[in-house]
Structure 1
Amino acid sequence: MPIQAVRNLLGNAAGSRSLSVSPEWKVLGGFGVIMMLSGGALWASTLGIFLAPLERDLGWSQTQIYLGVTICYLTTPVFALLVGWLLDRGHARRIIIGAVLMEALVFLGMSRMGHGIGIYYALCILMFGTVLGVTPVPLTKVINSWFVDKRGMALGVLFSLNYAGAMVAPLAALSMIGQLGWRHTYAAFGALVLILAMGAALLWVRVNPEQTLPVAEIVPHKPVAGQRRALLEAIRQKEFLIVAVWLVLYGYSFNSISFHLVPMLEEYGLSAAKAAVAQGLVGLGGLSGNLLAGVLLDRIRASRLATLFALFPLAGIVMLALWPSQASGYVMAVSLGLAVGSEGTILMYLGGRLFAPAILGTVMALLVIVVTIGAASGPAVAALLHDHFGSYHQLLALNALTFLVSALMPFGLKAYRY
């Protein structure tokens, strides 16, 4: 922990009368505000709420609207590489501030959209860039520079706050659209981000200036040719293929339902208000899944946990299809959150146990691209099925199958290598 931070903490523990907050807790609080108001919390979780007004006022179909999400996910490699390149050059704070500013401007731009679908797609791409600008990579870069002994706690708090934002945003959006209209709601989101998130970023979020991490201690020296050979060997491993198939199915299965959850539950008899509550429950499930997976990984084999958490949404789908009701809709929403909340934690653990440390970063980047491919296809495939068949029944049947296969895939992971 930084020397000055230690002094501040010791001073506070000793009963100092000073009301000043130590720098690391300011950073944590500032980043917490940003995560609660991030594009993932405000935009992705509310798209289903905005769906009907956009269809009605702009004349777009579900397929056209959700194609914007697919296009966003396909830009992941470009934005991820750009963020990584800038981080390696010490621009973590600039990335975060730039992402927050862009998010506010994109929301304001969405409040002024006309009938041209191309403008909507461009704004979606920019919004997705802001999401990647406050992803775990820059987040971890900043938090790791301030927290040592309580690093896990700090990261856990931030991820939980992100899910908390995703829980509240759908209900807030539904109420605001009813009172203000969708344009003013987008404008209000932009103003909220510009005032609160930008203020937190400018005032509190920064990399610890006392941080000293020699490059030689972070990345062990490896000949380039040796790294390439090791990477090729890892990709050829059966384990890589199993994890890749699991992730692409997981990404497709979750996104195809999550982005359509509100209109889907309305089709199954829930009111708009109750469907919005269900969308918020996805965030609650995600928060719980993240915490639960972290606790269980030390007690249960990670591959078995991957299977267990994939079975939760499968059970939720079956309940909704066979016994459509408010209760089954809420159960499915929570089960989806449990699945997505645990996926990242389990993936990071499995990656560290299956692939060599010297190439782990590259392997994990490839797996992120794999899950993105599945996630990118989900909303558009769901919209196409709905537009073709006129209901979500066929989508639920297909996703029951994809969740089942994704649950079975981890059984092929027999032994850890590292």
Structure 2
Amino acid sequence: MATSEITGEFRRGSGVIVAAALGIGLGLSPLPFYTIGVFMPVLSEEFGWRYDQIMVALTVMTLGAFLFAPVAGYLSDRFGAKRVALISTVMFSLVFMSFSLMTDSLLQFYATWGLMASLGAGTLPVTWTRGVTSFFEKNRGMALGLALVLTGPCGALAKVLSDHLIGEIGWRMTYVCVGLAPLLITVPIGLLLFRDAPAKAPAISGAISGKSSVSEPGFSLKQALVTSRFWLLAYAFLVMSIGLSGPVPNLEAIFREKGFEVSNSVLLASFAGYAVIIGRLSGGWLIDRFWPPGVAILMLTSPILGLLALAQIDTPSFMLCAGAVVLMGAALGVEYDFLAFMSAKYFGMRNYSSIYGCLYAFFAIGAAAGPVIGARMFVQTGSYKAALYVWAGSLVIGAIALPFLGRRETIFDDPRPAPVAIPQTTGA
């Protein structure tokens, strides 16, 4: 790969990466997901809610993401990712701050999570990565890794900051402070730096009418839905997301069960966010150079070792727990990269956001189930041991589908007929 190709793409698209990284890192995907474990004990104490009842909120949120991520993708394809992402960021920020008005009604709690998911779906990678994938081709994997790299650090910082602020100003004002971040950071930087996809060369169409239209190569959503690759990706990520997303919101409770103090439990859990950087950058570099399904199998199943260690050792050391969390975080750091990369590679950019949104919806189903499974098993058995085995097993079962995606050189094939060249005539 020529150095000029690398520097040229990054010179043109660096601002888009920065805006996308902040937009995704301070959006619906990381902030509620990473902070719910911190708010869970104080909400339980304040309102008498059980842990599994609180974790149902993640199910509500991911159900909302399942329903509205495809809508956000369609709107991005139709009206531009920038407009959709920024409007959604404002809505997400306001709804997140409204948690400060919470009463003891679980229905109100769940309704707020559902509203946050529906209005905040435009902050998901579905929208922001459209700009990134449009500006990058040779270095798309690395660019996506950089665009998604802040989900972990932002989530980890939000976790630690929330834990500190709850003790200083109370949980209600902590919701306000965390919710202000997208409004004050993402919106102005997005307005300044983010750009929609650059215009493509017009495709030859409408030979009879003599009209031409601008169209990007790739599958329509309808065409993608009838391919085996779409459903293999949907199945793999639905099942694997149970094991990828399930442990993280429960980490504080898992480590308290293992005998760690609250402060050390929060500290250990925060390592998952920082380890996302490892997954984002290494995963992005690897999928640009090697067989993407193989990279995904290697990285997405790596948490199995940590999950089994935590299940089998009753009093693990701090370092063993930290290592297990790092493996989980690194895997979380590559799941969005892989899904975004393969959406573009397999199906092209024609309806990228719509297709990615539908695939993300399946990921959201598993992400909704995983944390609730763990919390429910804890309530029933008084231990997370069984849940740790279930999470590890889901990673194995989901990974089995990935080799059937095929070899890299056969990934993208434009399903539309090749344009017919129209000979030009010259006057006599």
Scaled to the shorter chain, the TM-score interval is 0.7 to 0.9
Contact 2:132 2:143 in 1 (8 A): yes
Q: 1:118 to 1:301 in 2, by over 3 A?
A: same
Q: 1:46 to 1:231 in 2, by over 3 A?
A: closer
Q: Which residue of 2 aligns with 1:346?
A: 338
Tell me, in whole angstroms, the C-alpha distance in 1 between the residues paired with 2:406 and 2:392: 25
Q: Which residue of 2 aligns with 1:90?
A: 79
Q: 1:395 to 1:355 in 2, by over 3 A?
A: same
Q: 1:169 to 1:395 in 2, by over 3 A?
A: same
**Equivalent of 1:212, from 199, 202, 215?**
199
Superposed, which structure 2 residues align to 1:203-352 within 5 Å? 204-205=192-193, 207=195, 211-213=198-200, 216=203, 217-220=214-217, 231=224, 234=227, 237=228, 242-323=232-313, 324-350=316-342
Q: Which residue of 1 aligns with 2:383?
A: 391
Deviation at 1:315, TM superposition (A): 0.4
Contact 1:266 1:275 in 2 (8 A): yes
Q: Which 10-residue stretch deviates more, 99-108 or 85-94?
A: 85-94
Deviation at 1:91, TM superposition (A): 4.6
Deviation at 1:220, TM superposition (A): 4.5
Q: 1:299 to 1:39 in 2, by over 3 A?
A: closer
Stretches of structure 2 lacking an aligned partner (at least 5 in a row): 1-6, 204-213, 412-428
Q: Identity percentage over the alignment?
A: 26
Tell me, in whole angstroms, the C-alpha distance in 2 between the residues paired with 1:72 and 1:330: 28
Contact 2:217 2:349 in 1 (8 A): no
Contact 2:311 2:386 in 1 (8 A): no
Matched, 1:43 2:35: no
Deviation at 1:81, TM superposition (A): 3.0
Higher helix share: 1
Tell me, in whole angstroms, the C-alpha distance in 2 between the residues paired with 1:162 and 1:232: 29
Tell me, in whole angstroms, the C-alpha distance in 1 between the residues paired with 2:372 and 2:332: 19
How far does the alpha carbon of each residue in 1:382-417 deviate from its partner, in whole angstroms, 9 at most, with x for none? 222111111111111222322233344434556453
Q: 1:85 to 1:369 in 2, by over 3 A?
A: closer
Tell me, in whole angstroms, the C-alpha distance in 2 between the residues paired with 1:182 and 1:215: 54
**Equivalent of 2:146, from 151, 157, 160?**
157
Q: 1:389 to 1:329 in 2, by over 3 A?
A: same
Q: Which residue of 1 aligns with 2:393?
A: 401
**Equivalent of 2:114, from 120, 125, 146?**
125
Contact 2:28 2:123 in 1 (8 A): no
Superposed, which structure 2 residues align to 1:50-129 within 5 Å? 50-129=39-118
TM-score between both structures, scaled by the size of structure 2: 0.78
SS of residue in 2 equivalent to 1:89: helix
Paired letter, 2:109: Y
Tell me, in whole angstroms, the C-alpha distance in 1 between the residues paired with 2:322 and 2:151: 20
Deviation at 1:73, TM superposition (A): 1.2
**Equivalent of 1:182, from 171, 190, 193?**
171
TM-score between both structures, scaled by the size of structure 1: 0.80
Tell me, in whole angstroms, the C-alpha distance in 2 between the residues paired with 1:404 and 1:263: 24
Stretches of structure 1 lacking an aligned partner (at least 5 in a row): 1-8, 10-21
CA root-mean-square deviation: 3.5
